[in-house]
Amino acid sequence: MIENVVGVFSLPLGVAANFVVNGRDVLVPMAVEEPSVVAGASFMARLARNTGGFRATASAPEMIGQLLILDVPDAEQARTALLAAKARILQMATAVDPVLARLGGGARDIEVRVLAESPIGLLLVLHLIYDTRDAMGANAVNTALETIAPLVAEISGGRVHLRILSNLADRRLATASATFRAADLAFGEFSGAQVRDGVIAAWAFAVADPYRAATHNKGIMNGVDAVVLATGNDWRAIEAGAHAYAARSGRYTSLSTWACNADGDLTGTLEMPLAVGIVGGATRAHPTARAALQVLGVSSAAELAQIIVSVGLAQNLAALRALATEGIQRGHMGLHARQVAIAAGARADQVEAVANQLVRERAVRTDRALEILQAN
Ligand code: NAD
Protein backbone atom coordinates (compact mmCIF):
# COMPACT_ATOMS: atom_id res chain seq x y z
CA MET A 1 0.00 0.00 0.00
CA ILE A 2 2.86 2.43 0.66
CA GLU A 3 6.58 2.78 -0.11
CA ASN A 4 9.66 1.51 1.74
CA VAL A 5 7.64 -0.83 3.94
CA VAL A 6 9.45 -2.46 6.87
CA GLY A 7 6.48 -3.74 8.85
CA VAL A 8 2.92 -3.26 9.97
CA PHE A 9 1.99 -0.86 12.76
CA SER A 10 -0.98 -2.25 14.66
CA LEU A 11 -3.57 -0.42 16.73
CA PRO A 12 -6.17 -1.93 19.05
CA LEU A 13 -9.49 -2.53 17.31
CA GLY A 14 -12.50 -2.27 19.62
CA VAL A 15 -16.22 -2.43 19.01
CA ALA A 16 -18.51 0.21 20.49
CA ALA A 17 -21.80 -1.24 21.68
CA ASN A 18 -25.34 0.09 22.18
CA PHE A 19 -25.54 2.34 19.12
CA VAL A 20 -28.91 2.84 17.48
CA VAL A 21 -28.66 5.07 14.41
CA ASN A 22 -31.85 5.94 12.55
CA GLY A 23 -33.62 3.05 14.25
CA ARG A 24 -30.99 0.44 13.37
CA ASP A 25 -28.81 -1.33 15.94
CA VAL A 26 -25.21 -1.14 14.88
CA LEU A 27 -21.89 -2.37 16.28
CA VAL A 28 -19.17 0.18 15.60
CA PRO A 29 -15.54 -0.90 15.03
CA MET A 30 -13.07 1.66 16.38
CA ALA A 31 -9.30 1.65 15.88
CA VAL A 32 -7.67 3.82 18.53
CA GLU A 33 -4.75 3.71 20.98
CA GLU A 34 -6.35 5.91 23.66
CA PRO A 35 -8.04 4.20 26.62
CA SER A 36 -11.62 5.18 27.55
CA VAL A 37 -12.70 6.24 24.04
CA VAL A 38 -14.61 3.05 23.21
CA ALA A 39 -16.06 2.86 26.73
CA GLY A 40 -17.19 6.50 26.61
CA ALA A 41 -18.93 6.15 23.23
CA SER A 42 -20.62 2.90 24.26
CA PHE A 43 -21.88 4.40 27.51
CA MET A 44 -23.43 7.47 25.89
CA ALA A 45 -24.93 5.31 23.13
CA ARG A 46 -26.62 3.31 25.90
CA LEU A 47 -28.16 6.45 27.37
CA ALA A 48 -29.29 7.63 23.91
CA ARG A 49 -31.10 4.29 23.40
CA ASN A 50 -33.61 5.34 26.07
CA THR A 51 -34.92 8.04 23.73
CA GLY A 52 -34.62 6.10 20.45
CA GLY A 53 -30.93 6.56 19.71
CA PHE A 54 -29.31 8.88 17.20
CA ARG A 55 -31.10 10.53 14.30
CA ALA A 56 -28.63 11.24 11.53
CA THR A 57 -28.61 12.66 8.03
CA ALA A 58 -26.02 13.07 5.30
CA SER A 59 -26.14 15.44 2.36
CA ALA A 60 -25.28 14.49 -1.23
CA PRO A 61 -21.70 13.16 -1.60
CA GLU A 62 -20.52 16.29 -3.37
CA MET A 63 -16.81 17.06 -3.24
CA ILE A 64 -15.10 20.29 -4.27
CA GLY A 65 -12.07 20.33 -6.55
CA GLN A 66 -10.03 23.48 -7.04
CA LEU A 67 -8.17 24.89 -10.03
CA LEU A 68 -5.91 27.86 -9.39
CA ILE A 69 -5.70 30.00 -12.53
CA LEU A 70 -2.83 32.49 -12.77
CA ASP A 71 -1.88 35.25 -15.22
CA VAL A 72 -5.46 35.95 -16.24
CA PRO A 73 -5.64 39.14 -18.34
CA ASP A 74 -9.13 40.08 -17.12
CA ALA A 75 -10.55 38.18 -14.14
CA GLU A 76 -14.16 39.32 -14.57
CA GLN A 77 -14.16 38.49 -18.25
CA ALA A 78 -12.59 35.09 -17.55
CA ARG A 79 -15.19 34.43 -14.88
CA THR A 80 -18.08 35.19 -17.27
CA ALA A 81 -16.52 33.07 -20.04
CA LEU A 82 -15.96 30.10 -17.72
CA LEU A 83 -19.52 30.20 -16.41
CA ALA A 84 -20.81 30.41 -20.00
CA ALA A 85 -18.85 27.24 -20.81
CA LYS A 86 -20.18 25.37 -17.78
CA ALA A 87 -22.03 22.64 -19.69
CA ARG A 88 -18.93 21.79 -21.74
CA ILE A 89 -16.69 21.71 -18.67
CA LEU A 90 -19.11 19.52 -16.70
CA GLN A 91 -19.52 17.09 -19.57
CA MET A 92 -15.75 16.71 -19.95
CA ALA A 93 -15.30 16.24 -16.18
CA THR A 94 -18.03 13.62 -15.92
CA ALA A 95 -16.65 11.63 -18.85
CA VAL A 96 -13.45 11.04 -16.86
CA ASP A 97 -15.06 8.42 -14.61
CA PRO A 98 -17.57 6.23 -16.47
CA VAL A 99 -18.14 4.10 -13.36
CA LEU A 100 -19.22 7.10 -11.30
CA ALA A 101 -21.30 8.41 -14.21
CA ARG A 102 -23.10 5.07 -14.50
CA LEU A 103 -23.85 5.13 -10.77
CA GLY A 104 -25.43 8.59 -11.06
CA GLY A 105 -22.39 10.57 -9.93
CA GLY A 106 -20.20 13.00 -11.86
CA ALA A 107 -19.68 16.72 -12.22
CA ARG A 108 -22.57 18.79 -10.90
CA ASP A 109 -21.60 22.42 -11.05
CA ILE A 110 -18.79 24.97 -11.26
CA GLU A 111 -18.16 28.11 -9.26
CA VAL A 112 -15.66 30.79 -10.17
CA ARG A 113 -14.13 32.82 -7.36
CA VAL A 114 -11.94 35.88 -7.50
CA LEU A 115 -9.67 36.06 -4.44
CA ALA A 116 -8.60 39.67 -4.27
CA GLU A 117 -6.28 39.58 -1.31
CA SER A 118 -3.53 37.01 -1.75
CA PRO A 119 0.12 37.90 -1.05
CA ILE A 120 0.79 37.87 -4.82
CA GLY A 121 -2.35 39.79 -5.76
CA LEU A 122 -5.53 38.66 -7.44
CA LEU A 123 -6.18 34.92 -7.86
CA LEU A 124 -8.84 33.28 -9.99
CA VAL A 125 -10.15 29.96 -8.66
CA LEU A 126 -12.53 27.52 -10.28
CA HIS A 127 -14.44 25.07 -8.09
CA LEU A 128 -15.60 21.85 -9.65
CA ILE A 129 -18.46 20.27 -7.69
CA TYR A 130 -18.37 16.51 -8.19
CA ASP A 131 -20.70 13.82 -6.88
CA THR A 132 -18.49 10.87 -5.94
CA ARG A 133 -21.28 8.54 -4.74
CA ASP A 134 -19.92 5.93 -2.33
CA ALA A 135 -16.25 6.90 -2.72
CA MET A 136 -14.33 9.55 -0.80
CA GLY A 137 -13.56 10.67 -4.33
CA ALA A 138 -10.15 12.37 -4.18
CA ASN A 139 -8.82 10.45 -7.15
CA ALA A 140 -11.89 10.96 -9.31
CA VAL A 141 -11.94 14.69 -8.55
CA ASN A 142 -8.19 15.16 -9.07
CA THR A 143 -8.34 13.30 -12.38
CA ALA A 144 -11.31 15.37 -13.52
CA LEU A 145 -9.47 18.59 -12.56
CA GLU A 146 -6.39 17.60 -14.54
CA THR A 147 -8.55 16.72 -17.52
CA ILE A 148 -10.45 20.01 -17.64
CA ALA A 149 -7.38 22.16 -16.86
CA PRO A 150 -6.33 22.80 -20.51
CA LEU A 151 -9.88 23.80 -21.48
CA VAL A 152 -10.15 26.10 -18.45
CA ALA A 153 -6.79 27.70 -19.33
CA GLU A 154 -7.93 28.28 -22.89
CA ILE A 155 -11.28 29.83 -21.89
CA SER A 156 -9.82 32.01 -19.14
CA GLY A 157 -6.77 33.16 -21.08
CA GLY A 158 -4.60 32.32 -18.07
CA ARG A 159 -2.59 29.27 -17.01
CA VAL A 160 -3.79 26.62 -14.60
CA HIS A 161 -1.43 26.11 -11.69
CA LEU A 162 -2.83 23.88 -8.86
CA ARG A 163 -5.39 21.12 -9.56
CA ILE A 164 -6.45 19.49 -6.30
CA LEU A 165 -9.37 18.44 -4.15
CA SER A 166 -10.41 20.66 -1.23
CA ASN A 167 -10.67 18.93 2.12
CA LEU A 168 -13.15 21.54 3.30
CA ALA A 169 -15.97 19.28 2.11
CA ASP A 170 -18.70 21.64 3.25
CA ARG A 171 -21.17 20.30 0.71
CA ARG A 172 -20.80 16.79 2.13
CA LEU A 173 -22.10 17.27 5.65
CA ALA A 174 -23.35 14.73 8.14
CA THR A 175 -25.55 15.62 11.10
CA ALA A 176 -26.51 13.65 14.20
CA SER A 177 -28.81 14.59 17.02
CA ALA A 178 -29.89 12.79 20.18
CA THR A 179 -31.73 13.39 23.42
CA PHE A 180 -30.39 12.30 26.80
CA ARG A 181 -32.82 12.14 29.70
CA ALA A 182 -31.70 14.32 32.55
CA ALA A 183 -32.44 11.50 35.01
CA ASP A 184 -30.07 9.20 33.09
CA LEU A 185 -27.25 11.70 33.45
CA ALA A 186 -27.26 11.62 37.27
CA PHE A 187 -23.86 10.51 38.45
CA GLY A 188 -22.41 10.01 41.94
CA GLU A 189 -23.37 13.01 44.02
CA PHE A 190 -24.37 14.97 40.88
CA SER A 191 -28.07 15.20 39.99
CA GLY A 192 -29.18 14.78 36.38
CA ALA A 193 -30.03 18.48 36.14
CA GLN A 194 -26.60 19.40 37.49
CA VAL A 195 -24.84 17.24 34.92
CA ARG A 196 -27.07 18.60 32.12
CA ASP A 197 -26.35 22.20 33.06
CA GLY A 198 -22.68 21.42 33.58
CA VAL A 199 -22.47 19.97 30.07
CA ILE A 200 -24.19 23.03 28.60
CA ALA A 201 -21.82 25.37 30.44
CA ALA A 202 -18.83 23.35 29.18
CA TRP A 203 -20.18 23.61 25.63
CA ALA A 204 -20.76 27.39 26.00
CA PHE A 205 -17.08 27.72 26.95
CA ALA A 206 -16.11 25.96 23.68
CA VAL A 207 -18.44 28.17 21.65
CA ALA A 208 -16.84 31.30 23.09
CA ASP A 209 -13.18 30.28 23.19
CA PRO A 210 -10.93 28.70 20.52
CA TYR A 211 -8.53 27.34 23.19
CA ARG A 212 -11.36 25.30 24.64
CA ALA A 213 -13.00 24.61 21.26
CA ALA A 214 -9.84 22.89 19.98
CA THR A 215 -9.98 20.39 22.85
CA HIS A 216 -13.77 20.09 22.71
CA ASN A 217 -13.55 19.18 19.01
CA LYS A 218 -10.59 16.87 19.68
CA GLY A 219 -12.93 14.93 21.95
CA ILE A 220 -15.40 14.62 19.09
CA MET A 221 -12.61 13.48 16.77
CA ASN A 222 -11.56 10.77 19.27
CA GLY A 223 -14.70 8.96 18.20
CA VAL A 224 -14.85 10.09 14.59
CA ASP A 225 -11.23 9.23 13.73
CA ALA A 226 -11.41 5.81 15.35
CA VAL A 227 -14.23 4.72 13.01
CA VAL A 228 -12.70 6.52 10.04
CA LEU A 229 -9.45 4.64 10.65
CA ALA A 230 -11.12 1.27 11.28
CA THR A 231 -12.91 1.55 7.94
CA GLY A 232 -9.75 2.38 6.00
CA ASN A 233 -10.73 5.97 5.36
CA ASP A 234 -8.42 8.98 5.23
CA TRP A 235 -8.47 10.45 8.73
CA ARG A 236 -6.18 13.38 7.82
CA ALA A 237 -8.76 14.44 5.25
CA ILE A 238 -11.54 14.19 7.85
CA GLU A 239 -9.48 16.07 10.46
CA ALA A 240 -8.61 18.86 8.02
CA GLY A 241 -12.24 19.21 6.94
CA ALA A 242 -13.59 19.18 10.49
CA HIS A 243 -11.32 21.92 11.81
CA ALA A 244 -11.67 24.11 8.71
CA TYR A 245 -15.44 23.76 9.06
CA ALA A 246 -15.23 24.69 12.75
CA ALA A 247 -13.54 27.94 11.70
CA ARG A 248 -15.95 28.77 8.86
CA SER A 249 -17.37 31.86 10.58
CA GLY A 250 -13.89 33.36 10.81
CA ARG A 251 -13.49 32.24 14.41
CA TYR A 252 -12.76 28.64 15.42
CA THR A 253 -15.63 27.26 17.50
CA SER A 254 -17.48 24.13 18.68
CA LEU A 255 -18.68 21.66 16.05
CA SER A 256 -21.51 20.53 18.33
CA THR A 257 -24.45 22.20 20.07
CA TRP A 258 -25.96 21.27 23.45
CA ALA A 259 -29.23 22.53 24.95
CA CYS A 260 -31.96 21.79 27.45
CA ASN A 261 -35.34 20.92 25.89
CA ALA A 262 -38.87 21.63 27.19
CA ASP A 263 -38.83 18.36 29.19
CA GLY A 264 -35.62 19.36 30.92
CA ASP A 265 -33.63 16.76 28.97
CA LEU A 266 -30.29 17.33 27.28
CA THR A 267 -30.27 17.55 23.48
CA GLY A 268 -27.15 17.45 21.35
CA THR A 269 -26.43 18.04 17.67
CA LEU A 270 -23.25 17.60 15.69
CA GLU A 271 -22.75 18.74 12.11
CA MET A 272 -19.47 18.29 10.25
CA PRO A 273 -18.05 17.44 6.84
CA LEU A 274 -17.58 13.68 6.46
CA ALA A 275 -16.01 12.71 3.17
CA VAL A 276 -15.81 8.97 3.77
CA GLY A 277 -16.16 6.09 1.34
CA ILE A 278 -17.14 2.45 1.40
CA VAL A 279 -15.26 1.88 -1.87
CA GLY A 280 -11.92 3.23 -2.99
CA GLY A 281 -8.72 4.06 -1.14
CA ALA A 282 -7.90 1.46 1.49
CA THR A 283 -11.53 0.63 2.30
CA ARG A 284 -11.53 -2.53 0.21
CA ALA A 285 -7.78 -3.10 0.00
CA HIS A 286 -7.23 -3.44 3.77
CA PRO A 287 -8.69 -6.70 5.09
CA THR A 288 -9.51 -5.27 8.54
CA ALA A 289 -11.23 -2.25 6.98
CA ARG A 290 -13.26 -4.58 4.80
CA ALA A 291 -14.29 -6.59 7.87
CA ALA A 292 -15.15 -3.38 9.76
CA LEU A 293 -17.45 -2.29 6.95
CA GLN A 294 -19.12 -5.70 7.09
CA VAL A 295 -19.67 -5.41 10.84
CA LEU A 296 -21.21 -1.97 10.32
CA GLY A 297 -23.48 -3.42 7.65
CA VAL A 298 -23.61 -0.14 5.73
CA SER A 299 -24.69 -0.06 2.11
CA SER A 300 -23.69 3.52 1.27
CA ALA A 301 -21.08 6.13 2.15
CA ALA A 302 -23.92 8.30 3.47
CA GLU A 303 -24.93 5.60 5.94
CA LEU A 304 -21.32 5.28 7.13
CA ALA A 305 -21.13 9.06 7.61
CA GLN A 306 -24.36 8.97 9.65
CA ILE A 307 -22.88 6.39 12.02
CA ILE A 308 -19.57 8.23 12.33
CA VAL A 309 -21.20 11.56 13.17
CA SER A 310 -23.33 9.78 15.80
CA VAL A 311 -20.20 8.34 17.39
CA GLY A 312 -18.69 11.85 17.39
CA LEU A 313 -21.69 13.20 19.26
CA ALA A 314 -21.63 10.35 21.80
CA GLN A 315 -17.90 10.81 22.35
CA ASN A 316 -18.36 14.55 22.85
CA LEU A 317 -20.90 13.97 25.61
CA ALA A 318 -18.74 11.33 27.29
CA ALA A 319 -15.93 13.86 27.64
CA LEU A 320 -18.19 16.76 28.65
CA ARG A 321 -19.95 14.68 31.28
CA ALA A 322 -16.66 13.65 32.85
CA LEU A 323 -15.35 17.23 32.73
CA ALA A 324 -18.57 18.59 34.22
CA THR A 325 -18.48 16.13 37.14
CA GLU A 326 -15.52 14.27 38.63
CA GLY A 327 -13.01 15.49 36.04
CA ILE A 328 -11.53 13.56 33.16
CA GLN A 329 -8.71 11.84 35.05
CA ARG A 330 -10.47 9.49 37.42
CA GLY A 331 -12.18 7.26 34.87
CA HIS A 332 -9.45 7.78 32.32
CA MET A 333 -6.50 6.95 34.59
CA GLY A 334 -8.10 3.69 35.65
CA LEU A 335 -8.14 2.64 32.01
CA HIS A 336 -4.79 4.25 31.29
CA ALA A 337 -3.03 2.29 34.06
CA ARG A 338 -2.46 -0.77 31.87
CA GLN A 339 -0.62 1.33 29.30
CA VAL A 340 1.57 2.80 32.07
CA ALA A 341 2.34 -0.67 33.41
CA ILE A 342 3.36 -1.87 29.94
CA ALA A 343 5.49 1.24 29.36
CA ALA A 344 7.31 0.50 32.65
CA GLY A 345 8.19 -2.95 31.33
CA ALA A 346 5.50 -5.18 32.86
CA ARG A 347 5.25 -8.61 31.25
CA ALA A 348 1.85 -9.69 29.94
CA ASP A 349 1.21 -11.73 33.10
CA GLN A 350 2.11 -8.75 35.35
CA VAL A 351 0.15 -5.99 33.59
CA GLU A 352 -3.21 -6.50 35.30
CA ALA A 353 -1.80 -6.70 38.85
CA VAL A 354 0.48 -3.68 38.42
CA ALA A 355 -2.32 -1.62 36.82
CA ASN A 356 -4.71 -2.52 39.66
CA GLN A 357 -2.16 -1.50 42.27
CA LEU A 358 -1.51 1.84 40.52
CA VAL A 359 -5.24 2.58 40.49
CA ARG A 360 -5.65 1.50 44.14
CA GLU A 361 -2.82 3.79 45.17
CA ARG A 362 -4.12 6.58 42.90
CA ALA A 363 -0.61 6.81 41.52
CA VAL A 364 -0.92 5.98 37.84
CA ARG A 365 2.66 6.90 37.04
CA THR A 366 5.55 5.10 35.35
CA ASP A 367 7.95 5.71 38.26
CA ARG A 368 5.58 3.96 40.68
CA ALA A 369 5.00 1.13 38.19
CA LEU A 370 8.77 0.64 38.02
CA GLU A 371 9.01 0.47 41.84
CA ILE A 372 6.22 -2.10 41.98
CA LEU A 373 7.93 -4.20 39.30
CA GLN A 374 11.31 -4.00 41.05
CA ALA A 375 9.76 -5.04 44.37
CA ASN A 376 8.34 -8.21 42.76
P1 NAD B 1 -10.40 5.30 -5.57
O2 NAD B 1 -9.91 6.05 -6.76
O3 NAD B 1 -9.55 4.16 -5.08
O4 NAD B 1 -11.84 4.70 -5.86
C5 NAD B 1 -12.92 5.47 -6.28
C6 NAD B 1 -13.42 4.94 -7.61
O7 NAD B 1 -14.09 3.70 -7.44
C8 NAD B 1 -14.44 5.83 -8.27
O9 NAD B 1 -13.82 6.92 -8.92
C10 NAD B 1 -15.17 4.88 -9.18
O11 NAD B 1 -14.54 4.79 -10.44
C12 NAD B 1 -15.03 3.53 -8.49
N13 NAD B 1 -16.32 3.04 -7.89
C14 NAD B 1 -16.80 1.78 -7.96
N15 NAD B 1 -17.97 1.68 -7.31
C16 NAD B 1 -18.25 2.90 -6.81
C17 NAD B 1 -19.33 3.43 -6.03
N18 NAD B 1 -20.37 2.69 -5.61
N19 NAD B 1 -19.28 4.73 -5.67
C20 NAD B 1 -18.24 5.51 -6.05
N21 NAD B 1 -17.23 5.06 -6.80
C22 NAD B 1 -17.20 3.77 -7.18
O23 NAD B 1 -10.64 6.22 -4.31
P24 NAD B 1 -11.10 7.72 -4.11
O25 NAD B 1 -12.26 7.68 -3.20
O26 NAD B 1 -11.22 8.47 -5.39
O27 NAD B 1 -9.85 8.35 -3.35
C28 NAD B 1 -9.59 8.10 -2.01
C29 NAD B 1 -8.09 8.06 -1.78
O30 NAD B 1 -7.49 9.27 -2.24
C31 NAD B 1 -7.77 7.97 -0.33
O32 NAD B 1 -6.84 6.93 -0.18
C33 NAD B 1 -7.10 9.32 -0.03
O34 NAD B 1 -6.15 9.17 0.98
C35 NAD B 1 -6.50 9.70 -1.32
N36 NAD B 1 -6.23 11.12 -1.58
C37 NAD B 1 -6.69 12.13 -0.78
C38 NAD B 1 -6.42 13.46 -1.10
C39 NAD B 1 -6.95 14.54 -0.20
O40 NAD B 1 -7.66 14.27 0.74
N41 NAD B 1 -6.66 15.83 -0.42
C42 NAD B 1 -5.70 13.76 -2.23
C43 NAD B 1 -5.25 12.73 -3.05
C44 NAD B 1 -5.53 11.41 -2.72
Q: Are residues 50 and 86 in the same domain?
A: no
Residue 106 banded pLDDT, cuts 50, 70, 90: very high
242 and 271 together in one domain: yes
Residue range 336-347, pLDDT digits in tens? 899 999 999 999
292 in the same domain as 178: yes
On whether both 53 and 66 belong to a single domain, the answer is no
Asked whether residue 52 falls in the same domain as residue 101, the answer is: no
Q: What is the pLDDT of residue 195?
A: 97
Predicted TM-score (pTM) of this structure: 0.94
Check which CATH number belongs to the domain holding 148 and give it: 3.30.70.420
| Structural domain ending residue among the three candidates 165, 190, 208 | 165
| H or E, element range at 312 | helix 301-324
CATH classification of the domain holding 276 = 3.90.770.10
Residue 233's pLDDT is what? Answer: 98
**Cβ 2 vs Cβ 34: under 8 Å:** no
**Protein residue whose Cα sits closest to atom 7 of ligand 1:** 280
Give the range among 176-185, 186-195, 200-209 with minimum mean pLDDT. 186-195
Task: Please indicate, yes or no, if residue 6 is contained in any of the structural domains.
Answer: no
Q: Which of the following is catalytic: 146, 197, 209, 218?
A: 218
- Tell me which residue of 156, 173, 160 sits closest to 64, measured CA to CA: 173
Using the predicted structure, report yes or no on whether residue 261 has a pLDDT greater than 90. Answer: yes
Q: Are residues 213 and 268 in the same domain?
A: yes
Give residue 99 CA to ligand 1 midpoint distance, Å.
Answer: 12
Catalytic entry in 62, 131, 225, 234:
234
Percent of the chain with pLDDT over 90: 93
Residue 7 lies in a domain: no
Going by pLDDT thresholds of 50, 70 and 90, the confidence category of residue 330 is: confident
Dihedral sign from CA coordinates of 262, 267, 273, 276: negative
Instruction: Please check whether residues 270 and 336 belong to one and the same domain.
Output: no
Residue 115 has pLDDT above 80, yes or no: yes
367 among known catalytic residues = no
- 138 Cα: distance to centroid of ligand 1 (angstroms): 5
Give backbone dihedrals phi and psi of 135, rounded to 5 degrees, phi first. -105, 155
Q: According to the model, what pLDDT value does residue 118 have?
A: 94
Indicate which atom in ligand 1 lies nearest the CA of residue 165: 41
**Do 199 and 218 belong to one domain?**
yes
Are residue 118 and residue 196 in the same domain, yes or no?
no
> Mean of the pLDDT values across residues 7-27?
97
User: If DSSP codes are grouped into helix, strand and coil, which group holds residue 261?
Assistant: coil
How many H-runs (helices) and E-runs (strands) does the chain carry? 14, 10
* Domain annotation covers residue 4: no
Residue 132 alpha carbon, nearest atom of ligand 1: 20
pLDDT score for 38: 98
Q: How confident is the model at residue 335 (pLDDT cuts 50, 70, 90)?
A: confident
Give yes or no: residues 335 and 322 share one domain: no
Q: Please spell the DSSP secondary structure of 100-130, one letter per residue.
A: HHHTT-EEEEEEEEEEEEETTEEEEEEEEEE
Mutational test site, ligand 1, from 64, 164, 279, 284, max ligand atoms within 8 Å of CB:
279
Q: Cβ distance 174 to 57 under 8 Å?
A: yes
Residue 332 has pLDDT above 90, yes or no: no
In percent, the amount of the chain with pLDDT more than 70 equals: 100
Residues having CB within 6 Å of any atom of ligand 1: 97, 99-100, 103, 132-140, 142, 165, 167, 234, 237, 277, 279-282
pLDDT classification of 130: cutoffs 50, 70, 90 = very high
Q: pLDDT-derived band of residue 270, with 50, 70 and 90 as boundaries?
A: very high
Domain coverage including residue 31? 13-58+172-326
Task: Give the mean model confidence (pLDDT) for residues 313-325.
Answer: 96
The Å distance, Cα 132 to ligand 1 centre, comes to 8
Q: Which residue, 103, 135, 165, sits at the end of a domain? A: 165
Out of 100, 236, 303, give the residue to mutate to test ligand 1, the one with the largest number of ligand atoms within 8 Å of its CB: 100
If asked whether residues 128 and 261 sit together in one domain, one would say: no
Residue 86 forms part of a structural domain: yes
Q: What is the arithmetic mean of pLDDT over 47-72? A: 98
**Residue 218 annotated to the active site:** yes
Q: What pLDDT, on the 0 to 100 scale, is given for residue 331? A: 72
pLDDT at 334: 75
- Evaluate whether residue 192 is within a structural domain: yes
Give the total number of structural domains in the chain. Answer: 3
Identify the domain boundary among 145, 165, 185.
Answer: 165
Residue-wise pLDDT tens digits, 192-242: 999 999 999 999 999 999 999 999 999 999 999 999 999 999 999 999 999
- Domain assignment present for 8: no
Give me the pLDDT at residue 328, please.
73
Q: Tell me, what's the pLDDT at 327?
A: 79
Question: Does any domain span residue 184?
Answer: yes
pLDDT at 70: 97
H-state helical runs in 24-132 = 37-49, 75-84, 86-95, 98-102
Clarify whether residues 300 and 365 are in a common domain.
Answer: no
Q: What is the pLDDT of residue 333?
A: 78
Residue 306, pLDDT > 90, answer yes
| Nearest in space to 230 (alpha carbons), one of 271, 151, 277, 291 | 291
- HSE-CB at 293 with a 13 A cutoff on CA atoms is 26
For the CA of 97, the closest atom of ligand 1 is 11
Mean pLDDT of 38-61: 98
Question: How does the average pLDDT of the chain come out, rounded?
Answer: 96
